[in-house]
Structure 1
Amino acid sequence: MHIKDILAGSEQSGQPTFSFEFFPPKTAQGVQNLYDRMDRMHAFGPSFIDITWGAGGRLAELTCEMVGVAQTTYGLETSMHLTCTDMGEDKVNEALNNARNAGCTNILALRGDPPREKEKWEATEGGFQYAKDLVKHIRAKYGDHFDIGVAGYPEGSDDQKDEAILLEHLKEKVDAGATFIVTQMFYDADNFLRWVSEVRAKGITVPIVPGIMPINTYSSFLRRANHMGCKIPPEWSAALEEVKNDDAAVRSIGTGLVAEMCRKILAGGIHHLHFYTMNLAQATRMVLEQLDLLPSVHRPLTQPLPWRQSLGLGRRDEDVRPIFWKNRNKSYVARTQDWDEFPNGRWGDARSPAFGELDAYDIGLKGTNEQNRKLWGEPKTIKDIANVFVKYLENGVESLPWSEAPITNEADIIKADLISLNQRGFLTINSQPAVDGVKSSDPVYGWGPRNGYVYQKAYLELLVPPNLIGELIARIERDPELTYYAVSKASPLKTNSADGPNAVTWGVFPCKEIVQPTIVERISFLAWKDEAFRLGTDWARCHSSLSPSRHLIENMMETWFLVNIGNSFLLFYVGMNLALTIQP
């Protein structure tokens, strides 16, 4: 989606929106940490994010990689920075093609800073002299595929302080095809609003997005303000100088000052705020909290589907997925990335698409062996393992091998049942409660357009010991309301379900056909089975080859059954009644 359309929607609704900037870290661990943070900050509800351009070599490649991951894996509408620094036309086109192939439709076109080894900026041979030249090139080569943003300077730039000249340059960039403006950071709201008036008087009508830098520490506040040439209001200096040696106080007072600046900006007719996060979450979150812009029970984060939508190339219209990957979104995206087309409206023939190999990136267990041992301990018995699952359900452990994120409040109404099952040795790895026509705006279960209703069949997926699988299946088959799939690593699939997909989530919305975004289906379950047992084996291999923990978990993966049961509230009681025969 183009940023200009996002901004127009914000103006039309009257509800302020916001976005985040991130930059490419220099280490592999830093990149993974940032991906995790971007994933968590998705829950803040940004309208889009942008990724700065890492000029030259690996950092340039990393910018393109991060854009692809943000779009495809995390479902974040992303704008890619692109500069003229050290970039000939061929490199520019390569970067733009990579962005387009990742599903990116937004570019922030900048001249860029000079390389560190040079004091003065110089154009690259065969490249572009000014940002306006880059804008013209993008428009000429890619038409309207990309929405193009450019930089605005309310307080002057490094090499030009004359406001009249800078406004003329800004007009030239917009006339060349730019459709929105993002400003450098500032702390003087009055000067910014005055500058906006000057921009409008120049005949520039495209949206203006103010760049907001939260305050973390006193030293970083001064360093960044001085580096960017920001004017610091005297009252800010006085308030922060008093507590400069107390980081918590600086952050608290600074948050209040930045939030008040944002209120003044919003009251002045601006509808969107762009936060320079410095790859951190806390300071930005604190400002958003003070502005009451974070999702809440009264203003939940709206989502078009019950699972995280991918915005990768060809996936924007995807609206059906198997429930098995509910807690492993990244893995599902990775294993289906080579599909020629993605289900829209119906699942279709599941025999035609192949799920990717299990050794692909993003499919295996997260974290190092040491980190995972610290997280899940070194279990010696089935009861020890069951306790890990119970801790997860009680929010004492943030993830499991089969669930990458903490348990959500969707599980609250069945949590007691799930805990009972795990305490008695049935290890639950996926579930959803039955939902009968709640409003699509419901803060827990809602999804899709307004004024709709959503439904869920109860669903439970669990690991079952081999000595109980026969009795469990017999009990399930006595209830015509229940369907199941059961399989071990080596045994053939057992099921009472007919071939074809079976919807377990659907929605009814005004003037639309019924939407069925989550299904259970045989071929997909067998693909998931391989992954599920592989994850357990990976967990076992976090322990040394002679350890009791490794032997215990490996034996489970070789002999236990993966079972899913659906269609009725009764499924929990079937499991619990049978589980009573297990001695914890």
Structure 2
Amino acid sequence: MPSRGDINLRDTPKVHEKIKHRQDMGKIFFSFEYFPPKTPSGVDNLYDRIDRMSRVEPLFVDVTWGAGGSTSDLTLEISGNIQRYFGLDVCMHLTCTNMPSGKVDDALNAAKERGIRNIVALRGDPPKGEEWHSIEGGFEHAVDLVRHIRKSFGEHFSICVAGYPEGHPAGLLEGNLTYEQELHFLKEKVEAGGNFIITQMFYDTDRFLQFVKDCRSIGIEVPIIPGILPIQNYNGFERMTKFCKTHVPDEVLKALQPIKDDDAAVKEFGIRLGIDMCRRILHSGLVPGIHFYTLNLEKAVMSIIEGLDMIPKNQSIRSLPWRPATIDRRRHEDVRPIFWSNRPKSYISRTEGWDEFPNGRWGDNRSPAFGELTEHHLLGSGGFRSKEEKEALHRAYGELKNFSDVSNIFLRYLSGEVSRLLWSESDGLAKETMIIMEPLKWLNKHGLFTINSQPRVNGVPSSDIVFGWGGPGGYVYQKAYIEFFAKREVVEALIEASKSYPLITIFAVSSKDSELLTNTKNLSSANAVTWGVFPDREIIQPTVVDPYSFLVWKEEAFSIWTELWGRLYEKDSTSQQILRHIHDNFMLVNVVDNDYVAGDIFRLFDDVVPKFSLHDTELVANHVS
């Protein structure tokens, strides 16, 4: 199977192999750690944060395992969902604490079933207020866990082990081990099968750099990644450094003392310190990248990454127009219908039963069987994840009195006043939408409710910050595309008018049946609407318009009016009735302008839309209410 050569290495499942690739390329990387929140709303917020932070393309993320295995089920759930939905490879923590070997195997098998290929093997902390002790049938040291994973699972997992530049809190720092003994035990973990090392947090950069040199001097050759914990607030910093017995340089303490009661000043200092530490560490040439302990927060970490210029400001870092998956069977998938562009998690759910995934071309549109439309409440693909989310959307949308109110919500979304449209799983608009913003507003003002679009693109460099994908050196192309809901009479008028525009293709369907209204006789093949040309590679066609998939998508698209938006309101309210009327009487339409060189997709609408007033629809609303 040909590889698309993913610039973000999603086609490489094991983290130590990703690191090797980055080292060979001479490119540094960064990665993030998250922990399982204590509440359902906290989990929801974490998924949103991961979704946003994933856009800067961390090489991997890891998810912690609570003290004494207290969060084991949630760690597995969150790790599995990140691996499945977010296009990120997960390094899942696993500890020895309170874990007999059978329970360890259960966790490893559960990780394997979820497509997780990377494990952080730790001894772990005991539950709060308890002393650490081994249990019958368990493991006493992290090295025992590493050996067990290698014995039971071979090379299936990439294994990360922990390093302690200042000594382990229960070892050197308690006077139980010497520094040399700790280095020896770290080497044992590597020799047992550890592929790379992430260190405990530290603030003494000199000690860390010496630690790396000492590791190399005794033959530890695997990558060593520094763990950086940005200072977020003084109390949290003091609590964490005391718990971990972390040495804090005098200059850091002196700088914090006069500002310790000013959270904003402390956070700003933490960002500057993080940038300075990381810059010095990276300039040493001793490490391949930086691992950030996020504490499930994003601002400080993202500010440090930006301060280090680790995110290109004027160059695309996208592998494809949509985010590729990191489930092994999907790693070479590179073609999807454009309809799910804004709902990728739903698409992944509905296609996860496929034996093969399109690579190179879409193929026979009759062969793939899409899964049933279900409510994926957890990730917001088919339902509200929480009561708080539902209430927030209700406040943002307000009650509907007429169809103009519906139009206004779409307009407010395009203007940034409403952060999310329910046909999208993420907040905000794509950058390319700004290119066609005014025509889109004009359509929505006239009662054509747009849910997906892209402007035409003719040979833009693949590194372009707005349109680019696939890495530098290529050129990307797009046919103009618009998807929207409109009244049937508008659709019929558009199809009639399209006779004057032979390069425009229209498909439309209602919620009531699967009969396609179209101006083309070609119903059997897909129409590539995005493609890229790269040196020494076949042409890549990552998004298509496929008639069969459109009929599958329409069930989902129409259901959002009633099953999502409608649920914001009281049963049989005017708001619900208006949305039900749109569901029952409007059509879902997609329009493609195949002239990507000089076309203007909006010419078609210029001829038709002014003939139909939104006021006509408002008259219908009077009957609804």
TM-score range relative to shorter protein: over 0.9
RMSD (Å), alpha carbons: 1.7
Q: Which runs of structure 2 are paired with 1:119-134 in the superposition (5 Å)?
A: 119=131, 121-134=132-145
Q: State how far apart, in whole Å, the 2-side matches of 1:465 and 1:394 are.
A: 24
Counterpart for residue 166 of structure 1: 182
Q: Which residue in 2 is equivalent to 1:309?
A: 324
The correspondence for 1:292, drawn from 309, 312, 319, is 309
- Tell me if the contact between 1:79 and 1:105 (Cα under 8 Å) persists in the aligned partners: yes
Counterpart position of 1:554: 580
2:337 is matched with which residue: 322, 332, 351? 322
Larger deviation: 498-507 or 354-363? 354-363
**C-alpha distance after superposition, 1:156-190 (max 9, x if no partner):** 11210121111111011011011111100000001
1: distance between equivalents of 2:444 and 2:70?
46
Quote the residue 1:375 is aligned against. 396
Contact persistence 2:67–2:126 (CA under 8 A): no
Provide closer, same or farther for how the CA distance between residues 14 and 199 of structure 1 changes in structure 2, counting only shifts above 3 A: same
Describe the SS at the equivalent of 2:363. Answer: coil
Q: Which digits, 9 at most, give the CA deviation of each residue in 1:254-280, with x for residues without a partner?
A: 211121111111122223110000111
Q: Distance in 1 between matches of 2:348 and 2:257?
A: 49
Query: How is 1:158-307 mapped onto 2 (pairs within 5 angstroms)?
Result: 158-161=169-172, 162-269=178-285, 270-297=287-314, 299-300=315-316, 302-307=317-322
Match of 1:157 in 2: 168
Deviations along 1:129-180, one digit per CA (max 9) or x if unpaired, are 2111111121122222211110001111121012111111101101101111
Greater shift in the superposed pair: 244-253 or 563-572: 563-572
- The reply on whether 1:574 has 2:582 as its aligned counterpart is no
Separation in 2 of the partners of 1:256 and 1:557?
A: 53
SS in 2 for 1:562: strand
Counterpart for residue 440 of structure 2: 418
Instruction: Name the amino acid aligned to 1:98.
Output: A
Structure 1 residue identity aligned to 2:297: L
In the aligned structure 1, how far is the partner of 2:68 from the partner of 2:556?
38
Contact 2:87/2:323, CA 8 A, preserved across alignment: yes
TM superposition shift of 1:360: 3.6
Q: Which residue of 1 aligns with 2:367?
A: 352
TM-score, scaled relative to structure 2: 0.90
Contact 2:146–2:193, Cα closer than 8 Å, also in 1: yes
CA contact (8 A) 1:365 1:401 kept: no
Residue equivalent to 1:443 = 465
Inter-partner Cα distance in structure 2 for 1:15 and 1:314: 27
Residue type matched to 2:155 in 1? D
Instruction: State how far apart, in whole Å, the 1-side matches of 2:602 and 2:457 are.
Output: 15
Q: Which amino acid aligns with 2:351?
A: T
Q: Is the 8 A contact 1:544 1:550 kept in 2?
A: yes
One of 116, 124, 132 as aligned partner of 1:112: 124
* DSSP-derived class of the 1:314 partner: helix
One-letter amino acid of the structure 2 residue matched with residue 442 of structure 1:
D
User: Are 2:350 and 1:335 equivalent residues in the alignment?
Assistant: yes
Are residues 1:69 and 2:89 paired?
no
1:13 has 2:13 as partner: no
Q: Provide, for residues 87-146 of structure 1, a one-character-per-residue CA deviation record: whole Å limited to 9, x for no partner.
A: 122222222222222222211111111233521x22232222211111112112222221
Deviation at 1:404, TM superposition (A): 2.6
Equivalent residue in structure 2 for 1:458, among 461, 475, 480: 480
Matched, 1:135 2:146: yes
Residue identity in the other structure for 1:536: W
Tell me the equivalent position of 2:528.
503
Q: Is the CA contact 2:335–2:362 (under 8 Å) kept in the aligned structure 1?
A: yes
**1:55 Cα deviation from its structure 2 partner:** 5.6
- In the aligned structure 2, how far is the partner of 1:62 from the partner of 1:100? 16
Which residue of structure 1 aligns with residue 56 of structure 2? 44
1:57 CA displacement: 7.3
Is the CA contact 1:103–1:314 (under 8 Å) kept in the aligned structure 2? no
Structure 1 unaligned segments of length 5 or more: list them.
none
Q: Name the SS of the counterpart of 1:447 in structure 2.
A: coil
SS in 1 for 2:103: helix
- Answer yes or no: is 1:392 the counterpart of 2:408: no
Secondary structure of the residue aligned to 1:124 is coil
- Give 1:571's aligned amino acid: I
Per-residue CA shift, 1:354-394, capped at 9, x if unaligned?
A: 22222241431445432221122222222211111111112
Matched positions, count:
581
The answer to whether the 8 A contact 1:505-1:517 is kept is yes
Match of 1:471 among 493, 517, 524: 493
- 1:101 pairs with 2:113: yes
Question: Whole-Å Cα distance in 1 between the matches of residues 68 and 91 of structure 2?
Answer: 19
Task: Verify: 1:78 aligned to 2:90, yes or no.
Answer: yes
The equivalent of 1:490 in structure 2 is: 512
SS at match of 1:118: coil
Q: Once structures 1 and 2 are overlaid, which stretch shifts more, 322-331 or 142-151?
A: 142-151
Match status 1:364 vs 2:364: no
Go from structure 1 to structure 2 and tell me whether the alpha carbon gap of 1:117 and 1:187 turns closer, same or farther (over 3 Å shift).
Answer: closer
CA shift, 1:56, in A, is 6.5
Query: Could you tell me how far apart the structure 2 residues matched to 1:10 and 1:347 are?
Result: 31
The Cα of 1:32 is off from its aligned counterpart by 1.2
Secondary structure, aligned partner of 1:570: coil
Distance in 2 (alpha carbons) for counterparts of 1:418 and 1:56: 54
TM (norm. structure 1) is 0.96
Render the CA deviation track for 1:454-486: whole Å, top value 9, x for unaligned: 111111101011332221221124421111110
1:200 maps to a residue whose letter is R
Amino acid in structure 1 at the alignment position of 2:232? N
* Offset at residue 228 of structure 1 (A): 0.8
User: Shift in Å at residue 67 of structure 1?
Assistant: 1.6
1:214-244 alpha-carbon deviations (Å, 9 max, x no partner): 1111111111111111111111111111011
2:537 is aligned with what amino acid?
A: K
